[in-house]
Homo-oligomer: A and B are copies of this chain.
Amino acid sequence: MVEPANTANIKPHPYPLLKDELDIVIPTIRNLDFLEMWRPFFQPYHLIIVQDGDPSKIIKVPEGFDYELYNRNDINRILGPKASCISFKDSACRCFGYMVSRKKYIFTIDDDCFVAQDPSGKPVNALEQHIKNILSPSTPHFFNTLYDPFREGADFVRGYPFSMREGVPTAVSHGLWLNIPDYDAPTQLVKPRERNTRYVDAVMTIPKGTLFPMCGMNLTFDRELIGPAMYFGLMGDGQPIGRYDDMWAGWCVKVICDHLGLGVKTGLPYIFHSKASNPFVNLKKEYKGIFWQEDIIPFFQNVSLPKDCTTVQKCYIELSKQVKAKLGEIDPYFNKLSDAMVTWIEAWDDLNPVGASGQVNGKV
């Protein structure tokens, strides 16, 4: 049996990153009571809340948190016609928060995620572990059998080439979930009672050339290194598909990280995921994606970006062209998505002009 942790007696304490280095992005449609449990870990940081759905609804945020909140009216006002690239009635809207942040790092979490316990019963400070992951290098060019060689008590094993031990900068830290695993609708339907109780005490780099299913529930990334590729696509209202927002971002991010020599880590930290979403609703959202991903995955496995794509923006625009050329045949949706990818980059650059303070605009 897995249970969330009790954090009532933990006081907010200093972090390896300062408030002006990291923002926490939370998409939501409801009062953010879940923040009470995260108070000791999140209160030292600034929150960017992206309110989805009805903008007239008032979202309550517990006292003591420093936050800014954007609803659909704000998004439309700030982006104008380019707001079309931000999904509505889908948590994909969270990527608007990535765009308006001015910090180097983003941590994003769903509002049904609570503090997990490690096997000793200690509450897991997910944010602290993400920061550790992202501040240490990745090793995408060769597999280390003892997992992340930069963790305390670990190192590179015999046979690991010395020239590769410097590693590469880490752009993404992908955390996992105890209790309700992140399953698709068919698996939810088949295994309604399955809970994830296995705490795997590992962080690892996903090797170069290997794609992975990136979940947006518990995720940290470096905006300066990869931000413009963290677009969560067109989902929800008016779109033929849902629940592929983070997957889409993950595929794009991974091929661009591989191209630019950046690393992606997965594993710790765990959050406690409280509630499975409705599998019937999910099936409706996923239905087309289940078919489409059979073509999308080979497409991304074979994407090749030209050498002159030296910034995330250039890579992403090139990717948008290839999406139109090669996935447009599957469904007209991909032409629309390709256009939205371009709009996203235009909007990103509008809000993040080159040379702006604290922002290197994705240049590597």
- List, in ascending order, chain B residues with CB within 8 A of A164's CB: 297
Quick check: is A142 within 8 A (CB to CB) of the other chain?
A: yes
Main secondary structure of the interface of A (DSSP, over half): loop
Quick check: is A304 within 8 A (CB to CB) of the other chain?
A: no
- List, in ascending order, chain B residues with CB within 8 A of A306's CB: none
Quick check: is A202 within 8 A (CB to CB) of the other chain?
A: yes
Quick check: is A207 within 8 A (CB to CB) of the other chain?
A: yes
| Given A181-B157, A187-B156, A194-B155; A145-B202 close (CB under 8 Å) | no
- Interface size range of chain A in the complex: 35 or more
The contact string, 1 if C-beta is below 8 Å from chain B, for chain A 330-350, is 000000000000000000000
A182 to B144: give the CA distance in the assembly, Å. Answer: 11
Contact B293–A159 (Cβ < 8 Å): yes
- How many whole Å from A92's CB to the nearest CB in chain B? 14
Nearest neighbor of A296 in chain B, beta-carbon distance? B161
Which A-B residue pairs are the 3 nearest by beta carbons? Answer: A159-B213, A143-B212, A207-B210
Contact A184–B159 (Cβ < 8 Å): yes
Interface on A for B, CB 8 Å cutoff? 119, 142-147, 153-164, 174, 176, 181-184, 186-187, 191, 194-202, 206-215, 243-244, 246-247, 250, 266, 290, 293-294, 297
A136 to B194: give the CA distance in the assembly, Å. Answer: 20
- List, in ascending order, chain B residues with CB within 8 A of A208's CB: 210
A244 to B186: give the CA distance in the assembly, Å. Answer: 46
A212 to B158: give the CA distance in the assembly, Å. Answer: 10
| Given A157-B182, A197-B153, A201-B201; A290-B162 close (CB under 8 Å) | yes
Nearest neighbor of A210 in chain B, beta-carbon distance? B207
